[in-house]
Copies of this chain bind each other. A is one copy, B any other.
């Protein structure tokens, strides 16, 4: 009998399903080195007997482990711990277990040469709770309505059958609906040919940057700023010119200084609820930025991903809604306002820029899901999106206040923050005595996933801060998550 079985503890009163408890336990035991790769596991029948559980539960646990690549199935022998563990993968090219992608004993495994060398991210496993970086709560979103609209449109196939290649700019219905929506919600006076529908804000950033920047160009970004935008600019060979960001957004004196010292091609700004620090660019600085863009002749990439959620006052109108002589590329996303799974974003820009953006979008992605786009247009048109946003604003307002309250009550002196005026996250500065890398790892072991907090930083300094999303957690979930965090930060002796 395998000794590790005795290490598996099951809590049948827990909310976590038993099969998941087993799977997570096995993962932990593997990680701790108590069981080695290649070790055979008992059959599901035996496991069920040993743990006194239903055999279906044992099968589900193994399925889960298999799905996460922790175990592998040997025909006619059973399951064993994978040789190649998910977060312990060798960096070698010779992968002798695989026939087509390896299994060469004589010939060395060929290494595909890439000219970029992007570091890998960490492998994550499934937690009980996630304090994310600020995502909407899909459970509030009108996904059922969207789904119904989708189904009814999918059946109208013959009516809506455009030449698929002509849909790279987005479904005509959604482009038109977006024009009306942006006029109503943010005073943006545009026409269909100023719009490009993308797969999300990230793709809009990528396309805009790819068209704007060539190697050696300089782009101003806040310090710290959204790390995946920085990565895009750097991957295109552009040079980041970082300027500080304070409680009113990007420091415009620093922008002016940067412009005097460098030939600036573009500036990337998140005007509402800056990522990561959640501050909002003040109206005065907005005016100043537009003036600087004219004076120093650069293009502004305005990533207004978080325009929809405001709790203290109405949002400021986008730079794109001001007089900017076509200098602003405006980016937004329904993934951020509806649900992460609804992958629809947009870019607003002068018509000729959009025309080129559509060509690039075809190259990287052909087109979006035009049926989904049409369905979303219908929900915008009939007011469902507007009604949902009202409801979500109310819920997130309450969740923001609740998170602020429990952090102040439970973690005063450990976690410091400024209450954000909107958005889906607050910027939590942890006391240096509680290094986030250790806090996050300890929390993960107890089923709470939070960020280890180093990705968003412009420079390498570690200010021990993370975004704590409050939008996607219901009050009781938030309480449970903070309870785990408090247990980690203030262990009972």
Chain A residues numbered 412-469 whose CB sits less than 8 Å from any CB in chain B = 449
Evaluate contact between B202 and A340: CB separation under 8 angstroms.
no
B352 lies within 8 A of A93 (CB): yes
In the complex, the answer to whether A100 meets B356 with C-beta atoms within 8 Å is no
**Which residue of B231, B294, B351, B362 contacts A228 across the interface (Cβ within 8 Å)?**
B362
For the complex, would chain A's binding face be called helix, strand, loop or mixed by DSSP majority? loop
Instruction: Pick out which of these stretches binds chain B: A24-32, A61-69, A246-254, A273-281.
Output: A61-69
Given known contacts A162-B126, A193-B69, A214-B115, is B154 in contact with A325 (CB within 8 Å)?
no
Residue of chain B at shortest CB distance from A92: B352
Do B100 and A191 touch (CB < 8 A)? no
A92-117, CB < 8 A from B: 93, 95, 97-104, 107-117
Which residues of B are found within 8 Å of A1, using beta-carbon distances?
none
Which residues from chain B contact A484 at a C-beta distance below 8 Å?
none
Copies of chain A in the complex: 2
Give the Cβ gap from A444 to chain B, nearest Cβ, in Å.
Answer: 11
Interface residues of A in 287-326 (CB under 8 A from B): 294, 299, 320-326
A371 to B341: give the CA distance in the assembly, Å: 6
Tell me whether A60 is interfacial, beta carbon within 8 Å. no
Instruction: Report the minimal beta-carbon distance from A452 to chain B, rounded to whole angstroms.
Output: 12
Closest 3 CB pairs of A and B: A118-B359, A115-B214, A99-B189
- Known contacts A98-B189, A101-B194, A118-B356; 12 additional CB pairs below 8 A are A95-B350, A95-B351, A99-B323, A100-B321, A100-B322, A110-B324, A112-B326, A112-B350, A116-B210, A116-B356, A130-B163, A335-B366
